Amino acid sequence: MKLLFVLTINALIIGLFLYSKLLPHQANLNNKYKGVFNFFNGVFTPIFNFFKKYVKPFQVGQGLSVDMTQIILLLLLLLVLNLVK
């Protein structure tokens, strides 16, 4: 059971990375990968919307800011993974 949980957290971390890379290109995905993308989109979007209520984008330059919700989710997943091992 512990192994399954660790594998699930690892899959979510990899999915988060791919999600962040493919989000700008989601319209160009073929059907095979669009289904996988939509799965992770359905998982991550409610989490990001929840975090956006409490965490504002971090300004890194004039008119340039970083969305911190993905970083916070990554940190939480890594923390859970570290606590389980």
Contact 69, 57 (CB under 8 A): no
Q: Which domain holds residue 68?
A: 2-84
Q: What are phi and psi of 41, to 5 degrees?
A: -65, -40
The whole model's pTM is what? Answer: 0.86
Structural domain count of the chain: 1
- Longest CA–CA separation in the chain, Å: 48
| CA separation for the pair 26, 18 (Å, rounded) | 11
pLDDT in tens, the chain (85 residues): 899 999 999 999 999 999 999 999 999 999 989 999 999 999 999 999 999 999 999 999 999 999 899 999 999 999 999 998 7
Nearest to 47 by CA among 24, 17, 76: 76
Q: What does the pLDDT read at residue 1?
A: 87
